[in-house]
Chains A and B, each alone.
Chain A
Amino acid sequence: MELRINGMTHQIDVEPETPLLWVIREELGMTGTKYGCGLAQCGACTVMIDGRVARSCVTPVESVAGAEVTTIEAVETDPVGRKVVAAWIDNQVPQCGYCQSGQVMAAVALLKENPSPGESEITEAMVNLCRCATYNAIHAAVRQVAKA
């Protein structure tokens, strides 16, 4: 099948039910998107599909045929993405970093849809788990972009 990722078209030959996560990581060799649970529990695998946040570990690749998938690898090609990354650095958000691709993508998806989310909108959108509990810093970083 044909897959659109980060503006590029790829021909891939996999079982149609293969999770998008593993297509991204194994067929395309882009490892920024992480596997944490495989069960839509943690959000480490968060990508954008047509601009909407999605958990790629439970997204069959066949379901994104014709859609535009965006992964963390393309985050800095987008003006909102650049702002989010800058805020992540300003707030020194990551610790182990393993969840952070997903956190950044969740923030970018939120802020592209709603450039100035309020507290409760931030809380509703930023639901990914972080075992290092960087939640205070994540919140501060999203707020910084929301205010800017």
Chain B
Amino acid sequence: MNSLASTDLGPHDLSETPINLSRRGFLGASFGAFVLGVALPAGPARAQAGAGPAIDPGTRVPAFLEIRPDGSVLLQSPFIEGGQGIFTAMAQIVGEEMDADPSRFSVVAAPPGPDYLVVNGKLRITGGSMSVRTSYERMRRLGAIARRMLLQAAADRLGVPLADLRTEPGKVVHIASGRELAYGELAPAAMTLSVPTDVPLKSPADFRWIGKSVPRLDVADKSTGRATYSIDVAVDGMLLAAVQHAPRLGCEPAALLNEAQVGAMRGVHSVHRLPGAVAVVADRWWRARKAVEALQVEWKEADPFVQRPFPVMPADFSSAALKDKLIASHGKALDAEVVGDVGGAMGKAAKVVEAVYDAPFIAHAQLEPPAATARFNADGTLDLWVPNQAPEIFQRNAAKLAGLEPEQVRVHSPMLGGFFGRHFYYEASLAFPQAMQLAKAVGRPVKLIWSREEEFLRDTLRPMGVVRFKAGLDARGKPVALEAEVPGEGPRFRVNKVPLDKPDPTAVEGIAEKPYAIPNRRISQIPVPYPVMIGFWRSVGHSMNGFLYETFFDEMADAGQQDPFALRLELLAGNARLTALLKSVADLSGGWRRGPYTAADGSRRARGIAMASPFGSEVATIAEVSVSKNTIVLHDIWVAIDPGHVVNPAIVEAQVRSAVGNGLSTALLEEVVYEHGRPKARNYDQYPILPPDRMPPVHVRIIESGAPMGGVGEPGVPGVPPAVANALSTLLGRRIRSLPLSKAPLTASAS
């Protein structure tokens, strides 16, 4: 799951995703071989550079599968597990074609390497809700190849033709004699065979596991504390480290006023200056943390002549001022979608509606704080244990930092304690370069953990979203023209350092290319740089744009005295897939009713509806709210999702619930506020995330329309904030145009 590419995953989009452009020398040479943030302008081809013929990703069975004598299977997954269930899905997909029960699989994250570039056969990231849909055929083929190799090994052993054999889960059977050979005993011979190329895939009608709610493979370990994450890594002889970052990005440590005292604290090994941070290495993390927080540091302002791969945080930056600036910005507009003649239609409209909507910066707030362990080995190689969504990108950058070849860096990718887009290569948000520098400096392995406070200080945020909307309605109240100007920056161009001379698809996704038949439309981006680190957050641009657009939609409907559900249906006329989806969510919720109405318990309630088309899936969401004791109460949320077809319905449902929880959290509570260049919140006390008592029952209906497979990790997010805000606006009789809703006064309007 999580956040990278756009809804359309053509080669063009993918070619942009993994690249970090070179930025040299921006921190000078004071850290020896370490040059922070340098990355190669290298696509997948580069990762394959070197000897030998090109490797066709996802074909070399021994790189993926170890079949043990007892028939259990160890699978190297190209994708990293972080709660989205991808390890289980991979076992299902490979196991299906291999004819091996997924419950016999254990799955680990594969090391970096060309075999694992299975995202459309050329890339490896865990994000963009694309793991399954971009690797499905390839991973099935891998399973089919493995099965064929096992069959061949059996044929060789028995001296019979392949055609005389078939498989049953975990074994090859000689049809005539009924003689059985377990995969475990065939594996040693099978793994030495050359890779066959022409293996057929199963007919979906014969699927035994794909499409079934196979239990997750990681649930038992995660229910008993046995699952291990980056923060739990232990290597022999390691020391522990903690950091204190500069209060503003770009500042550097100058004087350390009490270095000697801190150095003498119990357990402290050494005190270090790092780019934009100070660090203490100690025998225990708790001691390192206490010591580094005791350090009195004088910070100096950023040297303006040094180039950095991230913006310097100005001392006077505030998120409130940025919002005002975005609302007022009138620079050059870059058109993302132009249909018909908006100006002309607006001129002829019977009524024009204008409104500005906004959504704040959002933090990832994944529950596991970043931790990274670095070990330089005697043979010149480096081991890194680092939370990441892109092992090869981390490997390349780590190699560059250390002055090594990529092959000399072993990147281990532990289970992620939540990610939501947090663990891409964001230069200012990485713990591993610090761990590497400290390990180098002390000559021992170092595990660095960021405290929660340091994480809130250095997280790369979901961008603030502001949209100026204008709609023209005809005499019957139907929209005939829609204009949306999106000032600001999108995460994809920022992360991949693409110049803003064309619209960033992730700035306008969820606003451009909406499916509603409004005959005249113009959606544009007005580039305005943000002086904060921005990146991918679960469902990326959709996560705020879903709110911004789908709430304005209701405002437009109200202005024309249209029911928002009926208007959506009308504007989707002829779109069978979305019409069915919309009707389905209404049906799931017991029939569309907007309210306000009085429920059986006497509460006044209203419902809101919203639609989204993220990551190749289609989603419709209905939320029911009331207000009690000046608090917004969610009663139920209903979601209909059409991802085309699915591998594991239970995992899809769990992902939708999780995404709904994230979406609801942003709707109700979350907001990163900057004042004087600093984030106000440094822990969950000031940055509340959705607590259990605010999670309503979530009802999910999965529709398999047979359309091309879409993503499932993120699409549940974007419909929730607008569905909730639309319900609340109906209940209060007043439009709410800003998130989070905790800021909105909850008294009903007289109008």
By a beta-carbon cutoff of 8 Å, the part of chain A in contact with chain B is: 14-15, 18-19, 22, 26-27, 29, 31-39, 41-42, 44, 71-73, 75-76, 85, 88-89, 92-101, 104, 123, 126-139
Question: Is B226 touching A37 in the complex (CB atoms < 8 A)?
Answer: no
In the complex, how many angstroms separate the beta carbon of A21 from the nearest chain B beta carbon?
8
Chain B hits for A94, CB < 8 A: 83, 216, 218-219, 222-223
From A27, which residue of chain B is reached at the shortest CB distance? B284
Interface residue SS majority, chain B: loop
Chain A hits for B365, CB < 8 A: 131
Interface residue SS majority, chain A: loop
Question: Is A92 touching B215 in the complex (CB atoms < 8 A)?
Answer: yes
Distance between Cα atoms of A22 and B434 in the complex (Å): 22
Interface stretch among B171-179, B228-236, B303-311? B228-236
Given contacts A32-B225, A94-B83, A39 and B219 within 8 Å (CB-CB): no
Chain B hits for A129, CB < 8 A: 367, 684, 689-692
State which of A41, A92, A98 has its C-beta within 8 Å of the C-beta of B216: A92
Given contacts A19-B286, A32-B224, A44-B367, A131 and B695 within 8 Å (CB-CB): no
Distance between Cα atoms of A96 and B685 in the complex (Å): 22
Can you identify 30 A-B contacts, CB atoms within 8 angstroms?
A15-B266, A18-B286, A19-B286, A31-B228, A32-B226, A38-B451, A39-B685, A41-B685, A71-B225, A72-B224, A73-B225, A76-B224, A93-B223, A96-B415, A96-B416, A97-B218, A100-B222, A104-B225, A128-B692, A129-B690, A129-B691, A130-B692, A131-B420, A132-B367, A134-B654, A134-B657, A135-B661, A135-B692, A136-B697, A137-B657
Question: Is B234 touching A29 in the complex (CB atoms < 8 A)?
Answer: yes
State which of B227, B284, B661 has its C-beta within 8 Å of the C-beta of A132: B661
From A31, which residue of chain B is reached at the shortest CB distance? B232
Given contacts A131-B689, A132-B418, A75 and B83 within 8 Å (CB-CB): no
Chain A hits for B228, CB < 8 A: 31
Q: Which 3 A-B pairs have the closest CB atoms?
A: A133-B661, A32-B225, A97-B222
Question: Is A123 touching B367 in the complex (CB atoms < 8 A)?
Answer: no
From A21, which residue of chain B is reached at the shortest CB distance? B286
Q: Which of A33, A76, A95, A98 has the largest number of chain B CB atoms within 10 A?
A: A95
Distance between Cα atoms of A138 and B693 in the complex (Å): 12
Chain B hits for A73, CB < 8 A: 225
Question: Is A133 touching B657 in the complex (CB atoms < 8 A)?
Answer: yes
Question: Is B284 touching A26 in the complex (CB atoms < 8 A)?
Answer: yes
Given contacts A129-B689, A133-B662, A37 and B684 within 8 Å (CB-CB): yes
In the complex, how many angstroms separate the beta carbon of A24 from the nearest chain B beta carbon?
11
Question: Is B285 touching A26 in the complex (CB atoms < 8 A)?
Answer: yes
State which of A42, A89, A134 has its C-beta within 8 Å of the C-beta of B220: A89
Q: Which of A26, A73, A131 has the largest number of chain B CB atoms within 10 A?
A: A131
By a beta-carbon cutoff of 8 Å, the part of chain B in contact with chain A is: 82-85, 215-216, 218-229, 231-232, 234, 240, 266, 284-286, 365-369, 415-420, 449, 451-452, 650, 654, 657-658, 660-662, 664-665, 683-685, 689-693, 695, 697-698
Question: Is B692 touching A123 in the complex (CB atoms < 8 A)?
Answer: yes
Distance between Cα atoms of A35 and B219 in the complex (Å): 20
Chain B hits for A27, CB < 8 A: 284
Distance between Cα atoms of A15 and B287 in the complex (Å): 9
Chain A hits for B692, CB < 8 A: 123, 126-130, 135, 138-139
Q: Which of B266, B685, B689, B692 has the largest number of chain A CB atoms within 10 A?
A: B692
Distance between Cα atoms of A92 and B175 in the complex (Å): 39
Question: Is A93 touching B219 in the complex (CB atoms < 8 A)?
Answer: yes
Question: Is B286 touching A22 in the complex (CB atoms < 8 A)?
Answer: yes
Question: Is A97 touching B227 in the complex (CB atoms < 8 A)?
Answer: yes
Chain B hits for A72, CB < 8 A: 224-225
Distance between Cα atoms of A71 and B740 in the complex (Å): 37
Distance between Cα atoms of A92 and B266 in the complex (Å): 44
Q: Which of A89, A128, A130, A138 has the largest number of chain B CB atoms within 10 A?
A: A130
Q: Which of A15, A19, A32, A132 has the largest number of chain B CB atoms within 10 A?
A: A132
State which of B225, B366, B684 has its C-beta within 8 Å of the C-beta of A33: B225
Given contacts A37-B452, A72-B225, A133 and B418 within 8 Å (CB-CB): no
In the complex, how many angstroms separate the beta carbon of B89 from the nearest chain A beta carbon?
13
Chain A hits for B218, CB < 8 A: 94, 97
Given contacts A15-B266, A94-B83, A35 and B369 within 8 Å (CB-CB): yes
Question: Is A92 touching B654 in the complex (CB atoms < 8 A)?
Answer: yes
Question: Is B231 touching A35 in the complex (CB atoms < 8 A)?
Answer: yes
Distance between Cα atoms of A22 and B449 in the complex (Å): 13
Q: Which of A96, A104, A126, A136 has the largest number of chain B CB atoms within 10 A?
A: A96
State which of A31, A89, A136 has its C-beta within 8 Å of the C-beta of B698: A136
Distance between Cα atoms of A97 and B84 in the complex (Å): 10
Question: Is A133 touching B658 in the complex (CB atoms < 8 A)?
Answer: yes
From B455, which residue of chain A is reached at the shortest CB distance? A37
Distance between Cα atoms of A73 and B665 in the complex (Å): 31
Question: Is A39 touching B684 in the complex (CB atoms < 8 A)?
Answer: yes
Chain B hits for A88, CB < 8 A: 219, 223
From B416, which residue of chain A is reached at the shortest CB distance? A96
State which of B654, B697, B698 has its C-beta within 8 Å of the C-beta of A95: B654
Given contacts A34-B231, A34-B417, A39-B452, A98 and B662 within 8 Å (CB-CB): no
Given contacts A71-B225, A94-B83, A36 and B219 within 8 Å (CB-CB): no
Question: Is A127 touching B223 in the complex (CB atoms < 8 A)?
Answer: no
Given contacts A37-B684, A127-B692, A98 and B224 within 8 Å (CB-CB): no
Given contacts A96-B82, A130-B692, A136-B697, A41 and B684 within 8 Å (CB-CB): yes
In the complex, how many angstroms separate the beta carbon of A30 from the nearest chain B beta carbon?
8
Chain A hits for B419, CB < 8 A: 96
Question: Is B691 touching A39 in the complex (CB atoms < 8 A)?
Answer: no
Distance between Cα atoms of A85 and B232 in the complex (Å): 21
From A44, which residue of chain B is reached at the shortest CB distance? B367
Distance between Cα atoms of A45 and B171 in the complex (Å): 44
Question: Is A75 touching B224 in the complex (CB atoms < 8 A)?
Answer: yes
Distance between Cα atoms of A71 and B219 in the complex (Å): 18
Distance between Cα atoms of A76 and B226 in the complex (Å): 12
Given contacts A29-B234, A34-B231, A98 and B223 within 8 Å (CB-CB): no
In the complex, how many angstroms separate the beta carbon of B693 from the nearest chain A beta carbon?
5
Chain B hits for A128, CB < 8 A: 692
Q: Which of A14, A19, A27, A100 has the largest number of chain B CB atoms within 10 A?
A: A100
In the complex, how many angstroms separate the beta carbon of B445 from the nearest chain A beta carbon?
15
Question: Is A36 touching B225 in the complex (CB atoms < 8 A)?
Answer: no
Question: Is A98 touching B229 in the complex (CB atoms < 8 A)?
Answer: yes
Chain B hits for A35, CB < 8 A: 231, 369, 449
In the complex, how many angstroms separate the beta carbon of B459 from the nearest chain A beta carbon?
13
Chain A hits for B83, CB < 8 A: 94-97, 132
State which of B221, B284, B416, B452 has its C-beta within 8 Å of the C-beta of A22: B284
Chain A hits for B367, CB < 8 A: 34, 36, 42, 44, 96, 98-99, 129-132
In the complex, how many angstroms separate the beta carbon of A35 from the nearest chain B beta carbon?
7
Chain A hits for B82, CB < 8 A: 96
Q: Which of A44, A89, A98, A104 has the largest number of chain B CB atoms within 10 A?
A: A98
Question: Is B650 touching A135 in the complex (CB atoms < 8 A)?
Answer: no
Chain B hits for A34, CB < 8 A: 229, 231, 367-368, 417
Question: Is B368 touching A132 in the complex (CB atoms < 8 A)?
Answer: no
From B222, which residue of chain A is reached at the shortest CB distance? A97
Q: A26-B284, A36-B368, A137-B654 are in contact. List 9 more A-B contacts (CB 8 A).
A: A33-B225, A94-B216, A95-B658, A97-B222, A126-B692, A127-B693, A128-B692, A129-B689, A131-B420
Distance between Cα atoms of A27 and B286 in the complex (Å): 11
State which of A22, A42, A85 has its C-beta within 8 Å of the C-beta of B223: A85
Distance between Cα atoms of A127 and B692 in the complex (Å): 6
Chain B hits for A75, CB < 8 A: 224-225
In the complex, how many angstroms separate the beta carbon of B458 from the nearest chain A beta carbon?
16
Chain A hits for B420, CB < 8 A: 131
Question: Is A136 touching B683 in the complex (CB atoms < 8 A)?
Answer: no
State which of B219, B220, B285, B691 has its C-beta within 8 Å of the C-beta of A127: B691
Chain A hits for B84, CB < 8 A: 95
Question: Is A39 touching B695 in the complex (CB atoms < 8 A)?
Answer: no
